[in-house]
Chain A
Amino acid sequence: MRIPAGREPAPALRAGTDIDVLPLLISALALAALLLGGFVVVAPNRLLSGSPLSLWQAAGPGGAASLLAILGVIALLAARPALRLQRVLISLAAGALMLLSLALAGMAASEQAVAAGRLTRVSLGAGFWTLFVAGLLLLADGAEREPRRAGKALPLLATLLGLAALIASGRLAHLSLAREYAVRQQAYLDELLRHLQLTGAGLALALVAGGAIGLLAYRRPQRAGPVFAVLNIVQTIPSLALFALLIGPLTVLTGLFPALRQLGIAGIGPFPAILALGLYGLLPVARGVHAGLSAVPPAVVEAARGMGMTGGQIVRHTLIPLALPTLLQTLRLTLVQLIGLAVLAALIGAGGLGTFIFQGLGQTAADLVLLGALSAIALALIADTALRGLALFLLRRPAP
């Protein structure tokens, strides 16, 4: 809403030039990677490494031409800054690029499965990933810069819908990633749920405890320094060590008081994982709450008091609404961070998406690693986007 003091507003991206550079740059990179790297990789079975197939070989002339055509459209659109819907159109094209490359890879996998037999594994190659990430970057860029809320949401929603339809159609079923998923469908859903539970519980812990600490630091500024110094040390400890650090004391504790075990407290498993996640979220939450409340101008609080607002009314009408942008950002950053960290929970027997990553690393099964890693990334991206959307919705302020 306001530009922070001491920071000049970001200069207009296209100052001095007429062409939007980023989409051009990204599509050029994607093109280069497509020409140099393999689009999909074909391996004789799950554990052997495979050989790359180029886009031309994998998707045929028709598929290759249509992908290149979309890249061309993006480049053309980038050169037309006068177009009113330019950003929305680029974002839609980026979504189409992602969906089409996925569909082509899926079809290539089906063909290989028919031609070379059931054991053959077709995984996604460097060329595919470059295209896919390029599309993702363009979507993110468009959502960030498009001023209208509908223009921000539409391409994202369209792409997500397309993705869902593509998965439902079964066209991707022969990709090795889908096959890894298919053989452990139930386990995957369980671990995904577990991941969400761990993250949710850790976040709740961090919000309650961190929020209280942030509030205390705001109310008693002289205590803020030491409190944040201690939290800083917690944040400095490597995440893996923090997870592992709790094993010892908790094992000793449950050894001394076996009754605790009945409450689900144990040295390994979900309990220490949630505790570690909560500890890690403590500093960002406390700092965000403190910063958000401190940014409320004292004159506003004084005026509210002088006008006869009760303590609750001051909190409801001034402190919370004015701190809301910072609070929402804190929530978003903490949630995204905890989703990522919860991957480590698998190492201390708490499950979650990390289970597949570490199993895959142990078996050198790249596709299993991919299943876990991509799911974690997707989860983080979805959480990030959803909370950005929520902030946009809550912080809207009608045009004067």
Chain B
Amino acid sequence: MIRFEGICKSFGGARAVNDVTLDVARGSLCALVGTSGSGKSTLLRLANRLLEADEGSIRFDGADVTNIPPVELRRRMGYVIQSVGLFPHWTVERNIATVPRLLGWPSARIDQRVAELLDLVGLPPGLHARRYPDELSGGQQQRVGVARALAGEPELLLMDEPFGAVDPPTRRGLQDSLMAIQKRTGTTILLVTHDVEEAIRLGGTLAVLDQGRLLQTGTPAQVLAQPATDAVARFFGGPLLGLNRLKALRVGDRAHAGAPSPGEGEPIDAEATLEAALARMVAEGRSRLPVRRLANGAPGVLDLADLVRP
């Protein structure tokens, strides 16, 4: 969907992005992660030409972005930022309709699209469509922000620390919604985050940046199992890296077939993270948990030893 090739970008002599090559496949979710100043936001803003690259090329759906006028390019990509930036003088409805109106859709189609999107992001249209942004909570505002970004049926959704400003429970709710939305719409998502937990939770591909360089790409499980450099290991928890790895793995990945014996407590879902399994073992003082259904449909068990298996 979008491919960065040998991208460099400097600000007043300082290299913000240094020779980055990255391919984001259609329909995937790629999280650019790294500490602040690692160049991840810069890379994102190069994608929709809010910034222009010094070197290298960016291909969007096969075409070089410099051949697409910025305004047209941006209308084909959704854009969500941490501070949301909803237009305070427009209703929720009008905010979401921004890009469709810019694209000149007929009003019936716009109305239908707005209702559809409010539903998609989990805001009942009857309650929220005519409200103004300052009448919404932070989490609701960000939901509107996501709906607004999706309104023009973009081929790619760019998100710059979209959930950084909301409290942890709300953030988890928004992350769940985002994953559900991607499942339904199949939109490609390129997302920037410095939140390790968020990066692991959203799954997809991680692209770890440090000081402008792309250090490693891969699934969370791959990156956490074999961090390419010390910097990657440090970012994912340093000495606590192992604990974060448990977040990236599911019970089903490690459980083995076996009949649970009585008195081993409630069975755990195969979809649960290993972290959740460990938490239950610690809380209940057991070293073995029954597993509800493995991939083949049979019940299984998870031993403490399974967690530490390489």
Q: Report whether A300 and B88 are in contact in the complex, using a CB–CB cutoff of 8 Å.
A: yes
Chain B, residue nearest A306 (CB): B79
In the complex, whether B132 has a CB less than 8 A from a CB of chain A is yes
In the complex, whether B16 has a CB less than 8 A from a CB of chain A is no
Complex CA–CA separation, A322 to B75 (angstroms): 23
Q: Which residues of B contact A306 (CB under 8 A)?
A: 48, 50, 74, 79, 81, 158
Complex CA–CA separation, A342 to B87 (angstroms): 40
In the complex, whether B224 has a CB less than 8 A from a CB of chain A is no
Task: Provide the B83-103 mask, 1 if CB < 8 A to any CB of A, else 0.
Answer: 111111100000000110010
Q: Min CB distance, B75 to chain A, in Å?
A: 4
The DSSP consensus for interface residues of chain A is helix
Q: Which residues of A contact B99 (CB under 8 A)?
A: 307-308
Q: In the complex where A309-B102, A322-B88, A400-B132 touch, is A303 in contact with B74 (Cβ < 8 A)?
A: no
Q: Report whether B71 and A317 are in contact in the complex, using a CB–CB cutoff of 8 Å.
A: no
Q: In the complex where A299-B83, A306-B81 touch, is A2 in contact with B98 (Cβ < 8 A)?
A: no
Q: Min CB distance, A400 to chain B, in Å?
A: 6
Q: Min CB distance, B51 to chain A, in Å?
A: 11
Q: In the complex where A306-B74, A308-B73, A313-B102 touch, is A300 in contact with B85 (Cβ < 8 A)?
A: yes
Q: Min CB distance, A19 to chain B, in Å?
A: 34
Chain B, residue nearest A2 (CB): B134
Q: Which residues of B contact A302 (CB under 8 A)?
A: 50, 81, 85
Q: Which residues of A contact B84 (CB under 8 A)?
A: 299, 303
In the complex, whether A329 has a CB less than 8 A from a CB of chain B is no
In the complex, whether A305 has a CB less than 8 A from a CB of chain B is yes
Task: Provide the A114-145 mask, 1 if CB < 8 A to any CB of B, else 0.
Answer: 00000000000000000000000000000000
In the complex, whether A60 has a CB less than 8 A from a CB of chain B is no
Q: Which residues of B contact A309 (CB under 8 A)?
A: 71, 98, 102
In the complex, whether A397 has a CB less than 8 A from a CB of chain B is yes
Complex CA–CA separation, A322 to B102 (angstroms): 19
Number of interface residues of A (CB under 8 A): 21
How many residue pairs bridge A and B at CB < 8 Å? 67
In the complex, whether A359 has a CB less than 8 A from a CB of chain B is no
Q: Report whether A303 and B86 are in contact in the complex, using a CB–CB cutoff of 8 Å.
A: yes
In the complex, whether A197 has a CB less than 8 A from a CB of chain B is no
Q: In the complex where A299-B84, A303-B85, A322-B89 touch, is A308 in contact with B135 (Cβ < 8 A)?
A: no
Task: Provide the B55-75 mask, 1 if CB < 8 A to any CB of A, else 0.
Answer: 000000000000000111111
Q: Min CB distance, B71 to chain A, in Å?
A: 5
Chain A, residue nearest B148 (CB): A307
Q: Report whether B102 and A297 are in contact in the complex, using a CB–CB cutoff of 8 Å.
A: no
List CB contacts (< 8 Å) of B121-177 with chain A.
130-132, 134-135, 145, 148-149, 158
B48, B75, B81, B131: which contacts A400 (Cβ < 8 A)? Answer: B131
Q: Report whether A307 and B131 are in contact in the complex, using a CB–CB cutoff of 8 Å.
A: no
Q: Report whether A300 and B87 are in contact in the complex, using a CB–CB cutoff of 8 Å.
A: yes
Q: In the complex where A307-B99, A397-B132, A400-B130 touch, is A299 in contact with B71 (Cβ < 8 A)?
A: no
Complex CA–CA separation, A112 to B89 (angstroms): 60
Q: Report whether A308 and B71 are in contact in the complex, using a CB–CB cutoff of 8 Å.
A: yes
Complex CA–CA separation, A300 to B90 (angstroms): 12
- 15 of the cross-chain contacts (CB-CB < 8 Å) are A297-B83, A299-B81, A302-B85, A303-B84, A303-B87, A303-B145, A306-B158, A307-B74, A307-B102, A308-B75, A308-B102, A309-B102, A317-B87, A318-B87, A322-B89
Interface residues of B (CB under 8 A from A): 48, 50, 70-75, 79, 81, 83-89, 98-99, 102, 130-132, 134-135, 145, 148-149, 158
Given contacts A299-B84, A300-B85, A307-B148, 6 further A-B contacts (CB under 8 A): A301-B85, A303-B81, A308-B71, A308-B73, A308-B74, A313-B102
